[in-house]
Every structure is written in structure tokens, then in C-alpha cells.
Structure 1
Amino acid sequence: MANMRVGRSLGVSLLPLFLGLVLFAASLTPSLIPRAWAVQGALGGLVAALGYMIGRLLLTLWRALELPMLRGRAALYGHLIAAIPVLMALVLCLGHARGWQNGIRSRMGMELIDTIDVPNMVLVAVTVLAVLLLLGGLVQGAFDRLRARLYRHMPRRTANVAGLLIVIVALTIGTRDGVLDRVVRALDESYTTAQELFDTAPPAPADPRTPGSAASLVDWGSMGQPGRNFVTGGPDGAAIAAFSGRPAKNPIRVYVGLAEADTAEARADRALEELIRLGGFDRKVLIVAMPTGTGWLDPGSFDVVEYMQDGDIASVAVQYSYLQSPLALLLETRAGLDQARALIRAVHRHWRSLPRDSRPRLYIHGLSLGAWASMYGTDLFSLLDSPINGALWAGPPFPSARWNEAMAERNPGTPYVAPQVGESRLIRFASHTQDAGGAQGWGDMRLMFLQYSSDPIVFYEPASFWRPPVWMREAPAPDVSPDLTFTPVVTQFQLVVDMILATSAPAGHGHSYYARDYIGPWVAVTDPEGWTQADSDRLAAHCNRGFQQGCDNG
């Protein structure tokens, strides 16, 4: 180790800087989602700063242990020798960066890029690194001043520990109760405005069969834009009949907005009342759904199941947040869980009070954060006396307890991204490359997970800070780059960036779930009467002619 600071004029230690450059080079390797040069620069600057910080900590520990240090000319030569492999790795990774990104893009059917704009990418990285080092220097300066004052009143070692604790507490309180609170309030206000609530809402529908109308028990203004799009969208009976050639009904869609009532229980009761008013329990199929963080429900999922059930279907959902799903997951964790449990309990309580031979088949559904919340709300033990018929959970976030339990039971030898559980009678997994297995061979309940192998929301792993996720130790899936490799620290932050970019992937990859890929799972779970593979193929083509995420305008 070297004690001298060859880079004293720059105010940095060279060996920690070399470690930062190594991590920057590693950050250029591919992960699950393609990255633009600006994002790559920010990621590279962040991990370089972390590498520098880790290097400084290691140097401090080395000195604290009073281990031998290189000095003078030996230290100079040591720095030069260490710099050679670092620079070679940096040049090598920069040279391969474009090919690595194009490798992911080609597997996702995206247009290839001609360049990654290395100069601008490096400029962004250096800027991020400099800002983080400056902030680190300010924190270090505050710590040094504080412990110098404490030296007057206590032993040096005690002062060092006390000073460190005080700085940590001050930073935690300042960011949590200061900056973070302001950010959350600003985000909440911006997303609330985007919902077009009350005075800014468009005119209410005139049809009394539409939630939010004058005859409805649900307030149109409180529903928000995602809810209004849901209840007024989708195929009607005429469109379904034109597709199937059979008589069809108008599907029932019920949605209650977050602003409808102050408590999760009140909103759930209002949704149940509206569902009863519209005759939802007289339909053949009933779906209880949880939306994503902002209240959005994927039209591609509901459209296809309404087509295959000839419109004889009702769906009900309740909003629990205005924030984007990642923010709602971090900042409003309980809101979604409490709302899911309240809604599922309310609907299930009324459903099980009905005669068994005349009540609809009951299913649970959710995408992303909606999947996580609805899994939590589906207490299978409390449903043992009157079990639901099944569930379809798409893009389940990695913390989802029921998903983790299912993954833990996967059959040995089956891929982590496309597992099989037992004889596939209770739990099945489907993806864009793995068939849902059809409607045969199930037990009394059907639980289906739809997940893409390139979805970081599903396959992120917190332990990737120090060890590779299970799926990285297996053969890569078709839309995952074979050049993806594990690097401690770096892989963690690559996957975090992937989660942020997850919905930027083209439909059918990442966290962008595609209407066509819901067809097989819904067929397997709901077993529509008289449905054939030819019908699935026609519906897939029908969706492809419509818009990318749904198929009601096909």
C-alpha cells in the first residue's frame, strides 16, 4: 500500500481513484435494460464515487492497523504499476460499450445505436463524481470539526465514535424530514394534478351503467384520469360479438378513486356497492384488481379477458396512491397493502354469501405494485372455506412474499426466470417465451405468475451488492445479454438503474407487459368456454392491429 498522495494537487488519493475507475469500467458492461449515454454517465460517476469511498475506507483501515506502507520512489512505482491494468480495463470496456448495448437492443428488437458518445458520457460521469466527492468532502469537514471540539471533553476514540454518530443522525434527519419530505410533497402534488380531479375533470358520462354517472354511487371527479380511462375504455358488446361471432354483453368495469373516501375500508365498501348496483355478481367471471401506484390498470390485460369471456365479466379496482409505483413502494408501502386487503375482503365476503351455483368465478389480478398488493390481500388461509378460483399476477415486484414462496418451491433444474412448481396444478409461471400450459391439469385453484426474464422489477436482488443473483448463474434467457457479468457493488446499481428504466423497454420486454402475452395466462386461469388455440391466435392478431398495450381498438 502507498502512503504518499501523488495526486495531492488534485485533492484525491490515487489508489482509491483507481478503484473508482475500475468500477466505472465495470459499469459499462450490459445489464437487463439498454442505457443511453447520459444514464450510463450518471451511473458510472456514481459507482466511481463509491469505489473511491471504499478505497479511502480501506486505506484508513490499513493505517489504523499500522501495516507497512510504501514510501518515496517505491510508492511512485507502485502507483504506476497499479495504473497500467486499470487504464487497460477502462480502454477495453469503453471500446466494447456500444457493442454491449447493441447486444441487448438487438435481442429486444430495438434500433441499434451508432455510438455511445463517449466524450459526453465521460463528462457526465466526471461531473457526477465531482459533485459526490464535494458532498463527501463537506461531510468529512463537518465530522473533523465536530470531533475536534469533542476532543476537549472526552478521549479521542470516544470523540471519534460520538462525532460519527452525530453526523449520521444529522444527515438522516435532514434528508428524511427535510429534503425527502419536500420531494415527496412535490411529487404527490404533481401526480395529484395530473389525475384531473374534481373541477378539472371532464364531463361525467350520461350512461347510467357507467361508474361516475349521475346514477352512480361513485364520484366522477374523485375517480381520477386512470380510473376514468378504465371505466370508459375497453371493448363493448358489439366489438366483442364482431370478433367472436357470438352474442356478447358489455363488460362491467368499476373503479373507485383515492379521493372517494378517507379510509381503505370506505373505498372498498363503495366499490362493492357500485359493483352490486351494476350487476357484477350476476356475471360469469368477476375480477378483483389492484392498479399500479398511480392508479393505472393495463388495458391489454382486461381487454383480452373480456374478449375471451364474451363480455360476461365484471372487474373492480380501487386506487391507493397517486405516486409512480417505485415511489409508492418506497414511500406509501402500507397504503396499497391495506387497500388490497380491504377490497378483497369486502368482495369475497359478499361473494361467498351467494349460492355456489349462481355466483361468478372469482379471480384476483394485478400488475407490478398492484400484483404485490393483491398478493398480500389474498390471504389464502382465510379463503379456505370459500376459495377463489384463481389469480393472475403480472410483473410481481421482487419483495412479493407469495412470489418468493413460489420461487423457493421451484423444481430443481428448472430455470430461475421460468420455473416450474410441483406438477403445475396450483402454481404456474408464464412469460413471453414460456407457454402458460393451457387450461388442463389444474387443481381446484389456479395461481399464475406472468414475468419477463428481462424485468428488473421482478428479478432485482438486494444481495447483488456482494453476490450474483441466481439467474445470473444460469444460462441467459433469450432477451438477456450473454455478456452480462457480475461485479460486486456495480451490479447492484446497474439493476437499480434498470428498475428505473424498466418501462422504457419495448413491449414484451423489461416491465412493459404486452396484451398478446396476457392471452395464454388468462386462458389457462379462466378456462373460457369453447376457446381454442385458433381463437388465441386470432385475438393476438387482433391486438397487434390495435394499439401496443391494449386491443379494444383492434
Structure 2
Amino acid sequence: MLDTAGERVPVPEGTPQSASDPPWRRAGRQALAVAARPYWDRRDASWLVRRWPDLTATAVATVFFWLSLTPSLVPRPWYLQGVIGGITAAIGYGIGCLLSWAGPAVVRWRAGPETRRRVRARAWQVYWVLSLSLTVFLLGESARMQRELRELQGLPPTLTWHSIMITLLALGLCWSLLILARLIRLGTRKLITVLLRYVPRPVAVVSGLAISVLVVTFGAKDVVLERGIIDVASRIAANTDRSTKEGVVQSGSPYVSGSPQSLIDWDDLGYQGRNFTGSVLTAEQISAFTGEEASAPIRVYVGRAAAESYAEQAALAIAELERTGAFDREVLAIAGTTGSGWIDARTAEPLEYLYNGDTAIVALQYSYLPSWVSFVVDRQEAGRATSELVAAVQQRLAELPEEGRPKLVVFGESMGATAVEDSFDGIADLLASTDGALLVGPPHYSPIWSEVTEARDPGSPVWRPVYEDGEHVRFAQYPQRDLGRPEGPWGWPRVVYLQNASDPIVWWSPDLALQPPAWLDEPLGPGVTDEVNWFPFVTFWQTTVDMGMSYGVDAPHGHRYGTNAVEGWAAVLPPEGWTHADTLRLKEHAEARESPY
């Protein structure tokens, strides 16, 4: 019987053997035989390099690298291709090691040492000939597929694709990860060897593995991630939150938070709060578009530094809404913010234009961290903060006469959409509690989005689902076309999701590692190349990296939605007398106006 190094090991006494034994029984005997060897008899000093690399593992790692060269949702630069290739090759090597270990236990190969060495040498020769030629060919093919994907999504097809650098970067990262894994395994063996001096073997093995898992988990999560990467990101975000974007100044409008008349100090708004309030549209700007006398829009924003708790922030927001006269406006909108507190001007401004400035928008900042850090640290914070605000606004509105209340709408983009959804108990509650919602690029874990998508009408694709014949909820990537489907009646209130088929933030999920996603079912969505495929582990890492590149394309692709909020708001809550021509004119105006932040 052979161990993992190809050497014969004694079979435990009393273990029955038969050539007709099923593979699972032979595998069990193999595992028992390897485990029976004392740890102190193993050549740990040379184990790190002995018979490394393994042929089977190397071949599987190479295949995983090849698979990583396939396109995904958005185009990627060469250096990120190298990162994906290195990570997936390391995963492939680990799977290959498992196959290499299990092979002798499942398949009996009766051959002498000389024959095995000769076959192994020939196999390596075949590997080098095939792997080198196929790698060169597939790197060229990957460049072609990336160019075609760029052209499909409206980008120039020109592409810098350093094939040699991709290979070297992937190889270096893969080897670094493998060396780290081997060092961890070697350290675990050493620990078990020490424990064997004091406790029985089963206790030593279980304790050693448990300690190793705890140390690695603690080191990766608490030291590397939280005290390393996240701590650095937090420090940078904290410094940014205290600053102000160039060109943004304190507003003099009494209808804006942070103004001299406001209950909230300018310094307590945070970076994104100062951007949002300092770039507010003026009544003159709105009048120049509408041709009518306009009101100055109300923007209430409560920064994280303005109060100790979310409840206190919400109470301060209500007081600020009272001060500005927001409850006398025609429309009151609650905005969900992203991790840093960001609100997209291209989503907020169309509503203010639609209603000639007779609007009020209110939002809370729950964090100054980037969204990905907020997701890792505590994703629930977004929902807790927004829920407090929604509950406080609803309570105040309930105190007003029904005929005198403003229309209540909610909106949010990305993590802000999730924050809004977390504030309601499902789609029925959202429809019953508001006069409409505009949700842009919701992440895959958004609760109402998941509810609606899973319950979509049969035959509708996941990237453009039809829910209950589109009676209240509709999805759009090209709103002028998509919001008109299905052709059945569209009742009130309305919920519009702006959702791109190629948005990795919408489609990323841990399930991608082991389960094919529904967004790859035929027919594929707009902007998704037919050369994209699902591969275990590989697609997960491709989509993970895609999230970082989702802003590198033009709308409506990736996580870019441009001015689609114009059609979104015009569908959700059009003013009386609003026409399709008005929508087109506002969209043209929005496209000509550069976003202030």
C-alpha cells in the first residue's frame, strides 16, 4: 500500500484485503494506513519541498488558470487577470492534491518503482509540451474575448494585455499561497508531534487541528483583515470624512442642513453629507429648466457625528424637517445611503426637477466607511439606521391630516437600496407604506429584491424578472423600453428597479463558488457575452474582482446607471400633466449636466 509520497506503508493489523473490495473501502484503508505512521517518523525537515510540485495537482492548477482567462460580467485589466489566475490556480492545486492522494486508494495500479518513475517522467514531458502551447494560445484568446466584451459594452476595443506579466503574476501569487498553505500544514504537524508527548494520539490530532484552525482564522480575520486591511481603510475613510470636496461650499439656503440656520453643524455632516447639501440645486436652476417659478428644494442630512445613536439621529432629522417645512411639500423622499453616506445626485435631482423644487429629501449617515468595509464589519447597520428614520417619518406623517400629507417615496442605490429594503417587511409592506420606490443596483443579499426575484413569473429571466404581471413592480436596464413591459396594467404605487444584466454587485453571491447562477441561463442579458461560463470557484473569484471594476464601464453596464433615474422617477411618481416628451427633455438636460459629486 502506498502513502501520499508514493512509499509503501504497512496495513494495520487485522485489516481485511481483497482485490474485489469497493473503492470506498480501499480509500478507507489507505487513510488508516497513512494515519498509522507516527508523526515523528515522517521527514518533516524535507517535507516542504519533497516531491513538490505534484504532477496531478500542477495539471489541475493549470486548468484552473486556463479557466480564469474566460470573460465574466465586465472587462478587466491584465493585472487583475493575473490576480484571478493566481488565486484560482492555487485552489486548483489544492483540489489536485486531494485527487493525487485519493487516486492510489481508489485505483489499484500494480507496477514497480522503475515503471512508475518512467511513466511519471513521460507524463511531465507531455504536460510541459501541452501546457506551454495551450497557455500561449489561451492567453491570446482571452485578449480577443476581452476586446469583444469591451466593444459589446460600448468601450473602445483597444486593450493592453501583457500575457507574460499575467502568467508571471499568477505564478508568483499561486506559489506564495501554496507556500503559505504548506507552512501552515507543517506547523500543524509539528504541533501535533509536541502534543503526542503529553496526550493520546486522538486527542493530540484533534487538539492540534483545532488550535491550527483557530490560529489561522484569528490571524486571517482579526489580524490581517480587521487590524490590517480594514484598519487602514478605516483610517483613510475617517480622514476623508473630515474633509470637503474641492468646489463644495456651505449652502446659504435655509432649506438645507449644514446652513447657518440649520440645527446640524456643517462640520457634523461628514464628507458625503457636505457634498449632498453643498451641491443642492437652486430655485433658479430648476426654473431655468421648467420655465416656471420654482421652490428651493429641501435636503436634510444627519451626519454620524451629529448624534450618539440612530434614534437620536432620526429625531434630529424630524426636527430639521419641521424647521424647513418639509411636511408641507408635495413630495417627501427618504434616501438610503451607501457605506460612506453617499447619495447619487443623478438619482436625487430628477425628482426635484419633476416637482419644480417642491420636494424634501432626508437621509442619515450610518458610517463613513466604504461599502465593502461596512459589509464586512456589520452589514446590518445600514438597515438599522434607515429603519429608525423610516419609522420616525411614518410616525410624524401619521399625525398629519391625510389630505395634507406629502407623498412619501423611498430610494437608494447599491447598499443604499439594501438599507431601504431592510426597513420594510417585504414587498407588500413597501407598497402599503409608501407612494413608490426607486431602487438602483441592489446587491444580491437585498431582502425584498430576493423575494421578488425568486417569486418571478415563470419564463421571465432573472436579469429582467416579471413579478405578478408587472402590476406594481418592474425592472429595467433600458427604461424607455423595459418599463413598458409587460403590456398589462401598471397600478399604483409603483416600485422600479434599475438593474443591469452585467452588474456584478447585483449578481455576486457566495453560492457562485459551487452553484451555477441563474443569470447565466439562456437567454443572456444585454451586455453579457455568450462566451461567459460558470466554473466552480473560478466564476466566484472572477465576479468578486468584477465588483471592483464595475464602475469602469459606461451606463447602462456594470454598476453604472447614468441618468436612467429620470425615466425611473417619471414612472414611479409622475406629476400631474407630465408627458413622455417632458421625460426625454429632462433626460437630455441631465445628460448635459455634469454630476457635482
Give TM-score, length-normalised by structure 1.
0.92
1:173 to 210, 218, 226: 218
1:535 aligns with 2:579: no
In 1, the alpha carbon distance for the partners of 2:68 and 2:355 equals: 48
Q: Which residue of 2 aligns with 1:40?
A: 81
In 1, the alpha carbon distance for the partners of 2:345 and 2:497 equals: 18
1:536/1:202 Cα in 2 relative to 1: closer, same or farther (>3 Å)?
closer
In 1, the alpha carbon distance for the partners of 2:306 and 2:243 equals: 10
1:506 aligns with 2:554: yes
Alpha-carbon distance, 1:381 to partner:
8.9
> Deviations for 1:157-203, whole angstroms, at most 9, x for unmatched residues?
553333222111111122333233323232222101101269x9987
Alpha-carbon distance, 1:440 to partner:
9.4
1:3/1:92 Cα in 2 relative to 1: closer, same or farther (>3 Å)?
farther
In 1, the alpha carbon distance for the partners of 2:489 and 2:573 equals: 13
For structure 1, the 5+ residue unaligned runs are: none
> Structure 2: which amino acid aligns with 1:451?
Q
Q: Which residue of 1 aligns with 2:58?
A: 17
| 3-state DSSP of counterpart to 2:286 | helix
Q: Which residue of 2 aligns with 1:305?
A: 351
Alignment of 1:475-514 (within 5 A): 475-514=523-562
1:372 aligns with 2:413: no
Is the CA contact (8 Å cut-off) linking 1:197 and 1:222 kept in structure 2? no
1:137 aligns with 2:182: yes
1:384/1:172 Cα in 2 relative to 1: closer, same or farther (>3 Å)?
closer
1:384/1:118 Cα in 2 relative to 1: closer, same or farther (>3 Å)?
closer
Q: Which residue of 1 aligns with 2:484?
A: 437
Is the CA contact (8 Å cut-off) linking 1:321 and 1:332 kept in structure 2? no
| 3-state DSSP of counterpart to 1:454 | coil
Q: Which residue of 2 aligns with 1:450?
A: 498
> Deviations for 1:330-383, whole angstroms, at most 9, x for unmatched residues?
212121111011010001110121111111110111110010011001236996
Is the CA contact (8 Å cut-off) linking 2:474 and 2:495 kept in structure 1? yes
In 1, the alpha carbon distance for the partners of 2:87 and 2:519 equals: 25
Alpha-carbon distance, 1:287 to partner:
0.4
Is the CA contact (8 Å cut-off) linking 1:397 and 1:457 kept in structure 2? yes
| 3-state DSSP of counterpart to 1:377 | coil
1:395/1:537 Cα in 2 relative to 1: closer, same or farther (>3 Å)?
same
Give the number of aligned pairs: 547
Is the CA contact (8 Å cut-off) linking 1:365 and 1:391 kept in structure 2? yes
In 1, the alpha carbon distance for the partners of 2:206 and 2:179 equals: 23
Q: Which residue of 1 aligns with 2:298?
A: 252
1:170/1:31 Cα in 2 relative to 1: closer, same or farther (>3 Å)?
same
1:503/1:95 Cα in 2 relative to 1: closer, same or farther (>3 Å)?
same
Is the CA contact (8 Å cut-off) linking 1:283 and 1:314 kept in structure 2? yes
Q: Which residue of 2 aligns with 1:329?
A: 375
Q: Which residue of 2 aligns with 1:282?
A: 328
> Deviations for 1:174-233, whole angstroms, at most 9, x for unmatched residues?
2333233323232222101101269x9987444433311232111211101211111122
1:474 to 522, 537, 541: 522
1:164/1:332 Cα in 2 relative to 1: closer, same or farther (>3 Å)?
same
1:175/1:488 Cα in 2 relative to 1: closer, same or farther (>3 Å)?
closer
1:118 to 163, 187, 192: 163
Q: Which residue of 1 aligns with 2:68?
A: 27
Is the CA contact (8 Å cut-off) linking 2:424 and 2:430 kept in structure 1? no
Larger radius of gyration between Structure 1 and Structure 2: 2
> Deviations for 1:129-167, whole angstroms, at most 9, x for unmatched residues?
122122112111211211222333445455333322211
Which range moved further: 124-133 or 60-69?
60-69
In 2, the alpha carbon distance for the partners of 1:90 and 1:69 equals: 34
In 1, the alpha carbon distance for the partners of 2:519 and 2:429 equals: 33
| 3-state DSSP of counterpart to 2:191 | helix
> Structure 2: which amino acid aligns with 1:313?
T
1:213/1:444 Cα in 2 relative to 1: closer, same or farther (>3 Å)?
same
Q: Which residue of 1 aligns with 2:402?
A: 356
In 2, the alpha carbon distance for the partners of 1:369 and 1:520 equals: 21
| 3-state DSSP of counterpart to 2:255 | coil
| 3-state DSSP of counterpart to 1:357 | helix
In 1, the alpha carbon distance for the partners of 2:105 and 2:187 equals: 21
Is the CA contact (8 Å cut-off) linking 2:431 and 2:493 kept in structure 1? no
Q: Which residue of 1 aligns with 2:140?
A: 95
1:339 to 385, 397, 413: 385
In 1, the alpha carbon distance for the partners of 2:354 and 2:513 equals: 44
Is the CA contact (8 Å cut-off) linking 1:380 and 1:387 kept in structure 2? no
> Structure 2: which amino acid aligns with 1:522?
W
Is the CA contact (8 Å cut-off) linking 2:77 and 2:160 kept in structure 1? no
1:195/1:408 Cα in 2 relative to 1: closer, same or farther (>3 Å)?
same
| 3-state DSSP of counterpart to 2:555 | coil
> Structure 1: which amino acid aligns with 2:241?
Q
> Deviations for 1:489-534, whole angstroms, at most 9, x for unmatched residues?
111110111112222222321112212x111211111122211111
> Structure 2: which amino acid aligns with 1:450?
L
Alpha-carbon distance, 1:93 to partner:
1.7
In 2, the alpha carbon distance for the partners of 1:251 and 1:368 equals: 24
Is the CA contact (8 Å cut-off) linking 1:29 and 1:484 kept in structure 2? yes
Alpha-carbon distance, 1:238 to partner:
1.6
1:249/1:52 Cα in 2 relative to 1: closer, same or farther (>3 Å)?
same
> Deviations for 1:17-50, whole angstroms, at most 9, x for unmatched residues?
1111111111110001111111111111111111
Q: Which residue of 1 aligns with 2:255?
A: 209
Q: Which residue of 1 aligns with 2:22?
A: none
| 3-state DSSP of counterpart to 1:504 | coil
> Deviations for 1:42-87, whole angstroms, at most 9, x for unmatched residues?
1111111111112112323445668548722233334445666555
For structure 2, the 5+ residue unaligned runs are: 8-47
In 2, the alpha carbon distance for the partners of 1:496 and 1:309 equals: 39
Is the CA contact (8 Å cut-off) linking 2:192 and 2:208 kept in structure 1? yes
| 3-state DSSP of counterpart to 2:433 | coil
Is the CA contact (8 Å cut-off) linking 1:352 and 1:386 kept in structure 2? no
1:53 to 83, 94, 99: 94
In 2, the alpha carbon distance for the partners of 1:411 and 1:102 equals: 35
Q: Percent identity?
A: 35
1:207/1:445 Cα in 2 relative to 1: closer, same or farther (>3 Å)?
closer
1:382/1:214 Cα in 2 relative to 1: closer, same or farther (>3 Å)?
farther
Is the CA contact (8 Å cut-off) linking 1:224 and 1:257 kept in structure 2? yes
| 3-state DSSP of counterpart to 2:496 | strand
Is the CA contact (8 Å cut-off) linking 2:457 and 2:465 kept in structure 1? yes
> Deviations for 1:406-453, whole angstroms, at most 9, x for unmatched residues?
001211111210111112122111113653239993334322211111
1:75 aligns with 2:120: yes
In 2, the alpha carbon distance for the partners of 1:127 and 1:483 equals: 28
1:440/1:178 Cα in 2 relative to 1: closer, same or farther (>3 Å)?
same
In 2, the alpha carbon distance for the partners of 1:206 and 1:225 equals: 18
> Structure 1: which amino acid aligns with 2:284?
A
Q: Which residue of 1 aligns with 2:316?
A: 270
1:518 aligns with 2:583: no
